[in-house]
Structure 1
Amino acid sequence: MSINKFPHFFSKSQNFKQMKTFTSLLFSISIMVVFTQCAGSQFVNNPPFVVESVTQHQLTDSNNNDKGTLFKIALKNVDTNAISFEKIYFNNKGTNVLMALTDENTLITAKFVRNISGRNLVLHKDPKKEIGNKPPVLVEKPPFKMKDNEAVLTYTENGITKYFKLENIKKGKAVIQN
């Protein structure tokens, strides 16, 4: 059956116009999605809380071996009903945070733990002998670029995820953790 036997609304020019309209609509939606995603990852300059101090402490064991980094962030004027803190990103790693309330302020802590225990991998030509091998733990990469002395605190305010850049992080005393 040739195309000429169909009614006039299936003509080639009509199909071309419909395809052009569909392509334009799809392109417009794609552009809007890209710009919406870019706008969502911008940093907040004036957060709804006050940063009192930001310190990082080296975590060590009793033999003074480096085990990672402990972050402590002291905040004031935090409306805990409207804000929840989620993650912190530092040195190209991300981890969840813990929040503790004191009489004077809100304390946010996070641990970046290094896996220094040697993994005993079994490499053998017989794959059955490699069954006990565990896969490596994947490190969460931050969705943005940071300098060495910067961290990014992720929080949700009224259901919207926001990012706040922490700069000039002070180095505190080493903390022994077994």
Structure 2
Amino acid sequence: MNKIIYLFISGILVLAFSCCSASKSSIKLEQNPPFKITNAFYNTWVGGQPGVKGYSVQFEIDNSNIVLDSIYFRNMSAKLQKDISTLKNVYIGTFILPNRMKDYILHSDPKKEFRNELPDISKKIPFQLNLNEAVISYIVENSTAYYKVTNVVELKTTGKL
């Protein structure tokens, strides 16, 4: 009787661990999307307040029938918005970086540290990306697909007006 229980519990554990490993790779990247990216770049921007900064990532595609949905870039994600100021198929994703200019109270008495904000523990994106890589999601035939862009160029500003 003990052998049957042992085999039953072992079988359940094997099934549980095999299901966990399968769920990690559920997002498949497309190799040949139904569009071509004609321009992909990003630039950094600084806001008017201290510590306000971020990235603006822009993609131009050649197929007007495809709708770009989201972008994953530098361990962040954002919705892509179509740029209506141009006749081209341009999509822009804006990332606001967290403000790191915070005053923390460090004291031996934990009660005096009560007003400190908790650190931002953002969820990880489901992709491993280099600094110049991004993954865009797009909608085709009422389903979401993903494509990895490997050469997102940084657009440098001169700083001169």
Question: TM (normalized to structure 1)?
Answer: 0.64
Aligned mates of 2:145, 2:109 — CA distance in 1: 50
Per-residue CA deviations over 1:5-64 (Å, capped at 9, x if unaligned) read xxxxxxx49x73x874785577457546634642x223111223332211111213469x
Aligned mates of 1:72, 1:117 — CA distance in 2: 25
Aligned mates of 2:24, 2:59 — CA distance in 1: 28
Q: Which amino acid aligns with 2:72?
A: I
Aligned mates of 1:94, 1:107 — CA distance in 2: 20
Show the counterpart of 2:57.
71
CA deviation after TM superposition for structure 1 residue 163, in Å: 2.3
CA deviation after TM superposition for structure 1 residue 87, in Å: 3.2
Structure 1: which 5+ runs fail to align? 1-11
Q: Which amino acid aligns with 2:73?
A: Y
CA contact (8 A) 2:68 2:136 kept: no
Indicate which of 26, 35, 39 corresponds to 1:53: 39
Alpha-carbon RMSD = 3.7
Aligned mates of 2:138, 2:38 — CA distance in 1: 17
Aligned mates of 1:24, 1:113 — CA distance in 2: 47
Aligned mates of 1:60, 1:173 — CA distance in 2: 13
* SS of 2:112 mapped into structure 1: helix
Show the counterpart of 2:124.
141
Larger radius of gyration: 1
CA deviation after TM superposition for structure 1 residue 84, in Å: 5.6
Aligned mates of 1:125, 1:33 — CA distance in 2: 42
Aligned mates of 2:9, 2:112 — CA distance in 1: 56
Show the counterpart of 2:113.
130
Aligned mates of 2:93, 2:148 — CA distance in 1: 15
- Equivalent runs, 1:161-176 vs 2, <5 Å: 161-174=144-157
Q: Which amino acid aligns with 2:40?
A: V
CA deviation after TM superposition for structure 1 residue 131, in Å: 2.8
Q: How many residues align?
A: 157
CA contact (8 A) 1:156 1:162 kept: yes
Aligned mates of 1:172, 1:129 — CA distance in 2: 45
Question: TM (normalized to structure 2)?
Answer: 0.69
